[in-house]
Amino acid sequence: MSALNNKVAIITGASSGIGYASAKLFAKKGAKVVLAARRRDELEKLAKTIHQQGGEAVSLAGDVCEEEYAEALVQYAVAEFGGLDIAFNNAGTLGALGKATTDTTYTDWQHTIHTNLTSAFFAAKYQLPEMMKRGGGSMIFTSSFVGHTVGMPQMAAYAASKAGLVGLTQALATEYGANGIRVNALLPGGTDTAMGRSVANSPEAVSFVEALHALKRMAFPEEIAQSALFLASDASSFTTGTALLADGGVSICRT
């Protein structure tokens, strides 16, 4: 039996990067996947690819910053597949880069916090009741080593939002553990995605980012997806409230 056989999963940020790789992997492992992101065409292409590979997927485009979208995703999962077992709340933004904190506008700050942290609250608000109806589930938030184990300049809003996700993870894990719901944060290192390449945007920048990691390279999205699969599956049945580092050793590397 596959690791996620007949489980229903919502994955946000599924149109590219870690979300895209995770959607394909979850479907391959037997999950019925609800794909979420802003880019409708990309979601529909991914759903078609999953179907061609023998999996099940539907898509619903929207903005995770809108509470109505969080509610609609859960309603769609229930309507299409009968419930909800797994939520990989992965969508996020780096926010405005290259600005000192004193030059960061309230609009910049608010957008980053809202996209990365408030959207996670919206998601959990609607996902938790459906998981409780199923007798449990697994909720995953994509956080970051930035703001958790590593401080980086000119990333105050991003660091605050991602650190906030770890706090939210811990609170929800204790609040809903008795309901059989596990809540964990996944903290990737530098990953070869469109978002990652917006930072590592030159050969010199790539080399610099790679050197920060103990493994001296960046991750492939498929590698981070494997960590998400662990947290989504029963392989992590006694794991909750954690900040799981899948960071290639960037948090401990000093060479």
Active-site residue set: 158
Q: Identify which of 18, 251, 241 has the alpha carbon closest to the alpha carbon of residue 148.
A: 251
- The amino acid present at 241, given as its one-letter code, is G
The span from the CA of 199 to the CA of 196, in Å, is 6
**For 240, which DSSP code?**
-
User: Are 104 and 157 within 8 A, CB to CB?
Assistant: yes
C-alpha dist (Å) from residue 14 to 11, 42, 86, 204 = 6, 9, 14, 29
Q: Which residues contact 21 (CB under 8 A, 6 or more apart)?
A: 220, 221, 222, 224, 225
Here the contacts of 107-114 (C-beta below 8 Å, separation 24 or greater) are 108/157, 109/156, 109/157, 112/157, 112/158, 112/161, 113/157, 113/160, 113/161, 113/164, 114/65
The span from the CA of 43 to the CA of 8, in Å, is 17
Dihedral angle over CA of 65, 111, 95, 16, nearest 10: 10
C-alpha dist (Å) from residue 60 to 40, 71, 76 = 7, 12, 8
Tokens matching residue 114: 């809202």
